[in-house]
A and B are shown apart, each in its own frame.
Chain A
Amino acid sequence: MNLDIALWLSQDAITNGAVYALLAIALVLVYTVTRIIFVPQGEFISFAALSLASLQAGQVPGTVYLLIAGGILVVAADSVGLPRAVALQRLPGRLIRQMALPLAAGGIAWWSASRPDDLWLQIVATLAIVTPLGPMVYRLAFQPIAHASVLVLLIVAVAVHYVLTGMGLVFFGGEGLRSNPYSSLSFNVGVLNVTAQSLLIVFASVTLMAALWFVFERTLYGKALNATAINRTGAQLIGVSPSFSGQLSFALAAFIAAISGLLIAPTTTVYYDTGFLISLKGFVGATVGGMASYPLAVVGSLLVGFLEAGSSFWWSAFKDSLVFTLIVPVLLWRSLATPHSEGDERQ
């Protein structure tokens, strides 16, 4: 172990930690607003990375059909329980509202698949496919049970995770894919060989975090989300719809997951089930902040990144075990350090 190795490992730790930090922020956001532990987040990462790779191979990814089917299901779910005449009368408007985005995303994807060299179009198409899946998942799986206990919501989240993983296998097959690098530039800083790719990951993460801070502090929608996170009933009383905050938080989480997927797609081989493990590491980071604090979640994620880089050097056989064991001392410390109240379960 010398300084060179320490620098190499730190570079790796910061690059990975930046991705985990983004995911941790999304997990905290969804949990504080809806009390859902967002287990399916990993699938959105895989969907984004694999959709990008499919588009680069000139194929329209299967996620497009999932999106269109999801739109139809949302319209159906919205119409259930209404008198037939009312449902029929509202149907055209609903179809236009719910199907416009999926069909547009499908169109972009189809166009992009015919232009395998247009990277920007591929990125736009991927974001357009994956982001609307978030609110759809919320509408179909969680909105009807929004008032259930945290445990029930967790169980449903696990179920959604399995459904989406299975779909990923159908769409993309069992073997992994890797997308083309955004840039093959690299330059030497002292002993370090810094790639443009890793700089992009860190830069994109920091920018996205700053943008999220801006949304929460300076915009009405962000403040509405914040209000719901602090007190659900209170927010409802002043006119913030819980369904709307739920869908908005899922849209943001899916967007963040899609960005993370785009960032890791060229650096590693992504399988249909890769995302789960990555978002689990984000989850470990988020627990450091007690699933409530954004800055602590970022610190926790960087900690996970460093622990992972260090253990991959010294004890690579136990790397994942060490990373996930981190959760035990963290939980111990949190349960001793924070006063416990009985009313946490139902706010």
Chain B
Amino acid sequence: MRASWVTALGLAGLLCAGGASGQEITIGVTMGTTGPGASLGINYKNAFQLMPNAIDGVPIKYVILEDGSDPTAAAKNARQLVAENHVDALMGAVSVPSTTQIALIAEETKTPLIALAPVALPPEKLGWVFIVPQPVPLMMGAVVDDLKSKSIKTVGYIGFSDSWGDLVLKALKQSADPAGIKIVDEERYARADTAVTGQIVKILIAKPDAVVVGGSGTGGALPQIALRDRGYKGPVYHNHGTINREFIKVGGAAVDGAIAPTGPLMVAEELPDSHPVKKVAVDFDQAYEKIFGAGSRNAFAGYSYDGFLLLKAAIPAALKAGKPGTPEFRQALRDALESGQAVVGVHGVYTQTKSDHIGLDGRAVVLAVVDGGAWRLLKK
């Protein structure tokens, strides 16, 4: 009995594999819509509902597997997608550790990977990896520029006690040191903390001109509420992980005036018409909010969508070089991805070349401010 089941499963597997090697492009995705990354993962996954099922008349199949925000499961999924589904490209994942794991597999199996979160690997190991999100230093650089323009000299920092808190602090220091801005206090907290009184009291003693929060999503609200409760009047800055409507819902009046860097899509309508990203971003926001409700736009769905746009721009050239499902196609897809073609996404203009697999510049970052219960473009 058991043997016949195994045979049946094996046959089914062969049939699936056979289907994939025809004239159809298969994109393998691993996502964490449960576990610690769930609040981001759900948004990442939503964007796949907006992606068309064909490019240039060639059907596209998305195989989306769940990894529970667990790097080991993400790696297992990536192996399965490559070995059993014979995918032409990988996409994922929702956290730095998970994405780093699948980047190693992409490199080993020579499968192009569109990384939807930053990857913690040196550039020489990223031959097959193309990164969508803005690097943290680019984002925090925009924050420091704003600090400079307001003649702020001292900053207090409070961030998550995890790798995100470290990344934001490191990027902040990288831009703040040359600008002569001093970080007078560094504090940490956890998303599940019920209070941050101790940390806030210590920051207030250091009397910084401004405070930078290294949290993400609604988790960024707690320090700002505590700061305002204790009567802190200075500006409070956040990072690009914080921007969503839930942050404002949770923070209420206390987060009014909060400033954060983000991709252009969050405030697309308010951008000047000359901004190169405006049209694509407005179209995306409208399509997304039609399905998921007004105000549901978010940076993470935008990363998934930009990943798709990168593939879409590269696929026509790759189709000329080989049939989907073959190593030649994957090689040609990689070459097309790093051909230096300018791709306009919802987060910025990507110009990915052999030496730069991110390819974003200042056009990929704007500053947003909470004004009257919504994120608005910060006018300089």
Judge whether A313 and B161 touch: CB under 8 Å.
no
Q: Which of A11, A178, A277, A313 contacts B199 (CB 8 A)?
A: A313
Any B CB within 8 A of the CB of A278: yes
B36 to chain A, nearest CB (A): 8
- Is A317 interfacial (CB 8 A cutoff)? yes
**A312 CB contacts on chain B under 8 angstroms:** 189, 193, 195-199
- Give every chain B residue within 8 A of A314 (Cβ-Cβ): 198
The verdict on A241 contacting chain B, using a C-beta distance below 8 Å, is no
Per the bound structure, the CA–CA distance linking A8 and B196 in Å amounts to 12
Partner of A309, one of B189, B198, B219, B249: B198
Determine if B193 and A311 form an interchain contact, defined as CB atoms under 8 angstroms apart. Answer: no
- B189, A316: Cβ atoms closer than 8 Å: yes
- Residue from B188, B192, B230 within 8 A of A317 (CB atoms): B188
B197 nearest in chain A by CB position: A12
Minimum C-beta distance from B303 to chain A (A): 16
Please tell me if the beta carbons of A174 and B191 are within 8 angstroms of each other in the complex.
Answer: no
In this complex, how many residues of chain B approach chain A with their Cβ under 8 Å: the count is 36
Cβ–Cβ < 8 Å partners of A9 in chain B:
197-198, 201
The answer on a CB contact under 8 Å between A19 and B198 is no
Q: How far is the CA of A320 from the CA of B193 in the complex (A)?
A: 9
Alpha-carbon distance between A15 and B196 when the two chains are bound, in angstroms = 12
Interface readout for A178-192 with B: 1 if CB under 8 Å, 0 if not? Answer: 100000000000000
B36, B201, B230, B244: residue with the most chain A Cβ atoms closer than 10 Å: B201
> Quick check: A269 and B219 within 8 Å, CB to CB?
yes
Shortest C-beta distance, A94 to chain B (Å), equals 34
**Contact at B188–A274, with CB atoms within 8 Å?**
no
The answer to whether A269 and B218 have CB atoms under 8 Å apart is: yes
Q: How many chain A residues have a CB neighbour from B under 8 Å?
A: 39
Known contacts being A312-B189, A319-B190, A320-B161, is A175 close to B199, with CB within 8 Å?
Answer: no
B38 at the interface (CB under 8 A from A): yes
**Given the contacts A9-B201, A166-B34, A174-B38, A277 and B189 also touching, CB distance less than 8 Å:** no
User: Is B246 part of the binding interface, using a Cβ–Cβ cutoff of 8 Å?
Assistant: yes
The residues of B that contact A177 with a CB separation of less than 8 Å are: 218, 246, 249-250
Q: Is the CB of A273 within 8 A of B195?
A: no
Bound CA span A269–B191, Å: 8
> Nearest Cβ distance between residue A323 and chain B, in whole angstroms?
11
Q: Find chain B residues with CB under 8 A from A271 CB.
A: 39, 191-192, 218
> Does chain A have a CB within 8 A of B348?
no
| B187 at the binding interface (Cβ < 8 Å) | yes
**A245 is an interface residue with CB less than 8 A from chain B:** no
Distance in Å from the Cβ of B186 to the closest Cβ of chain A?
A: 8
Q: Which residues of chain A come closer than 8 Å to B38, judged between CB atoms? A: 169, 174, 272
- Do the beta carbons of A319 and B39 come within 8 Å of each other? no
A71 to B192, CA, bound (A): 31
A130 within 8 A of B: no
Q: Does B221 contact A (CB under 8 A)?
A: yes
CB-CB under 8 A from A278, the residues of chain B are 192, 194
B202 close to A (CB within 8 Å): yes
Q: Give the residues from 293 to 313 in chain A that come closer than 8 angstroms, CB to CB, to chain B.
A: 308-313
Q: Is B102 an interface residue (CB 8 A)?
A: no
In the assembled complex, which residues on chain B have CB atoms less than 8 Å from the CB atom of A273? 36, 192
The reply on A176 being an interface residue by CB < 8 A is yes
Contact with A along B215-259 (1 / 0, CB 8 A): 001110110000000100000000000001010011010000000
Tell me the bound Cα distance from A15 to B193 in angstroms: 13
* Separation of A15 and B197 alpha carbons in the complex (Å): 11
The 22 sampled A-B contact pairs (Cβ below 8 Å) are A9-B197, A11-B197, A16-B194, A175-B246, A177-B246, A178-B221, A264-B194, A268-B222, A269-B191, A271-B39, A273-B36, A278-B194, A308-B198, A313-B199, A313-B202, A316-B158, A316-B189, A316-B199, A316-B202, A319-B161, A319-B189, A320-B161
Give the top 6 A-B pairs by smallest Cβ distance, nearest first. A174-B39, A312-B198, A174-B38, A313-B198, A176-B218, A317-B188
